[in-house]
Amino acid sequence: MFLESKPILLCQVIDLKSGQGGETVATIPVRVSARAVYSKDSIEPASPIDFGAMVKGTKKSQVLIVENKGALNFKFLIHRAPPLQSSEQEESAPSVRERKRSTQAQLTAGVFTVSPCSGSVGPGGQQKITVDCSPGAEGKCEEQLYIDISNRDPKDNPLGIPFTLTA
């Protein structure tokens, strides 16, 4: 949204010596210009992050970069998908306690650990996010996460930017 030199405010000049409470002697329009912008971001690599085939008991790490391409600071929060959209594993449905934990330093979702899972990124800045995968059993693992960035267009992915992790 952009507003340029619009007289949306009025300044009243009041003569306090005239009558009780003063008398308005002039009303001057004050022109205002403003620009409203949404956060602009970039997330690399694109979803999904696939850890490929792994041996039980091993660990692999990959880095995700959240970049601020806008003019203002933004905050980000990575959280798990609601239970119906998460992994098919029984243990993957997030509890209320797990959602509260997501505001801490790391988030564990199934066999994946994401760190940090929240923070602030200044204009032109980047935040490196480490995603670790440590499978404890055989089979395919998949988790749906969301990256919520403050002040982004609310019509675009209301839960946050969907992001899938697989191994």
Domains annotated for the chain, with CATH where assigned, are: 2-35 (no CATH), 41-166 (2.60.40.10)
Q: What's the pLDDT score for residue 68?
A: 95
pLDDT in tens, 69-115: 998 999 999 999 877 544 444 344 343 333 443 456 899 999 999 99
Is the pLDDT confidence value at 59 over 50?
Answer: yes
Q: What's the pLDDT score for residue 163?
A: 92
Q: Nearest Cα to 76, choosing from 114, 113, 108, 110? A: 114
Sort 80 into a burial class: Cβ within 10 Å, 0-12 / 13-18 / 19+: buried
Average pLDDT over residues 23-41: 89
70 in Cβ contact with 40 (< 8 Å)? yes
Residue 57 binned pLDDT confidence (cut-offs 50, 70, 90): confident
Is the pLDDT confidence value at 22 over 70?
Answer: yes
Is the pLDDT confidence value at 2 over 60?
Answer: yes
Kindly report the average pLDDT of the chain as a whole number.
85
Q: What's the pLDDT score for residue 84?
A: 59
